[in-house]
Copies of this chain bind each other. A is one copy, B any other.
Amino acid sequence: MGEVMALCRAAKDASARLLGTRGEVRSAVLRSVAQALRAQATEILRENDRDVEAARVGGENAAFIDRLTLNPKRIEDMARGVEEIALQPDPVGEVAWSTVRPDGLSIRQERVPIGVVCVIFESRPNVVTDIAALCLKSGNAAILRGGKEAFHSNQILGRIVSGAIAQGGLPPACVQVLASTDRALMDELLKQKDHIDMVVPRGGEGLIRHVTEHSLIPVVKHDKGVCHTYIDANADGDMAVAVSVNAKVQRPGTCNALETLLIHREFPQARRVLEALHKAGVEIRGDADIQALAPFVKPASDADWDTEYLDLILSAKQVGDLDEAIEFIRAHGTGHSEAILTRDYENARRFRQRVDAACVFTNASTRLADGSVFGLGAEVGISTQKLHARGPMGARDLTCLKYIIEGSGQIRT
């Protein structure tokens, strides 16, 4: 596996070079990437067509082909995301904490790049420019390994990024998009703990499990989301309808989509919310109380409360009060995104304090848990772990803190 060693060493060297670069140099590369995306849109679409055609021939379903397909609007969105990242302040050098000790020792924690970041992802080709931009912004070298389904798209996007890096005078190995989708090569990468500092798997459950189990490098996980929305007794009826339907229906195949609705037994418009969801094509599986509200509600089994449907199916349960809702989320939530809809100030406060999740929403759709929506330009992914980074990960989450200590001869006594 000399190939893996060579690319890891090149990444490590590039990461050392990046330590000395200015933010304006790194941001200029991002602007070149955006420019090249627009200038080469026709070529990108041609390469993308090859992947889409192969997926069609291979009999992939519509959702798969939709995720894979680029079009002029999606390319423009990619370019804008990269430009938005270029405009953000440089996270490198940010001072997170500082103090001067009584003996005059000056101490501060500065944000520095993590080093070499490896991202393993599936299908969506925009991940190449999103991650490349976030890594360059934060001064990290990146190794990107996409799936074979998007091979041609990923390759041309990788060439565009490489061109911009060369134009900016940075080492080519700042971003390396693997030309091989061989799984043995990926497994070899996951062992390079002396060269790679962080691994991010972004894709389906199988990929994430494989990477977590095989990596000797610290992994930032992006696990599934069994997301709840709790409708409080006095929630606004129109908002409850609009937010519930949006959270469930707008894109049901995503990790931040609603899976379980909890409704306070005194909320007067429960039936209206259920009817709106039903009308939007959602199959509702409820407990006995919810079943009593509408004839189209099917009975929920115990397994439903822990299921991430990723589909137009929803489980629904009646609760007696806020605490019952919080307890239920504690028992069945996966720590991704949870929401309360309420007009009660104290209930909102209590919910956001007591619910332990990456994203806690008040009066908004869980579908908004997203790096672009949060203003990060793009996202590395949505972390469901507690250590290091939690929720949508942007450029700042690709940094770590370094203690800088400046003295005038201080010693330990």
Whether A403 pairs with B358 at a CB distance below 8 angstroms is yes
Choose from B198, B361, B402, B413 the contact partner of A407 (Cβ within 8 Å): B361
Whether A388 pairs with B388 at a CB distance below 8 angstroms is yes
Whether A410 pairs with B20 at a CB distance below 8 angstroms is no
A358-B402, A390-B400, A403-B391 known; A364 and B246 CB under 8 Å? no
What is the interface of chain A mostly: helix, strand, loop, or mixed? mixed
Choose from B247, B348, B356, B370 the contact partner of A112 (Cβ within 8 Å): B356
CA distance A364 to B412 in the complex (A): 9
CA distance A246 to B410 in the complex (A): 10
Contact residues, A329-384 vs B (CB, 8 A): 330, 348, 352-354, 356-365, 367-370, 373-375
Looking across the interface, which residue of chain B has its beta carbon closest to that of A246?
A: B411
Whether A101 pairs with B373 at a CB distance below 8 angstroms is yes
Residue interface mask A225-250, B partner, CB < 8 A = 1: 00000000000101100110011001
A181 within 8 A of B: no
Choose from B19, B239, B392, B407 the contact partner of A353 (Cβ within 8 Å): B19
Taken together, the copies of this chain in the complex come to: 2
Whether A364 pairs with B403 at a CB distance below 8 angstroms is no
Choose from B20, B101, B361 the contact partner of A405 (Cβ within 8 Å): B361
A363 — which chain B residues lie within 8 A by C-beta? 406-410
A99 within 8 A of B: yes
Minimal beta-carbon separation of A200 from chain B (angstroms): 11
A401 within 8 A of B: yes
A115-B356, A374-B403 known; A218 and B385 CB under 8 Å? yes
If A97-B396, A386-B400 are given as contacts, then 4 extra A-B residue pairs at C-beta distance below 8 Å, sorted by A number, are A243-B409, A364-B410, A391-B401, A392-B403
- CB-based closest 9 A-B pairs: A364-B407, A246-B411, A367-B412, A388-B388, A387-B388, A239-B409, A359-B403, A364-B410, A365-B411
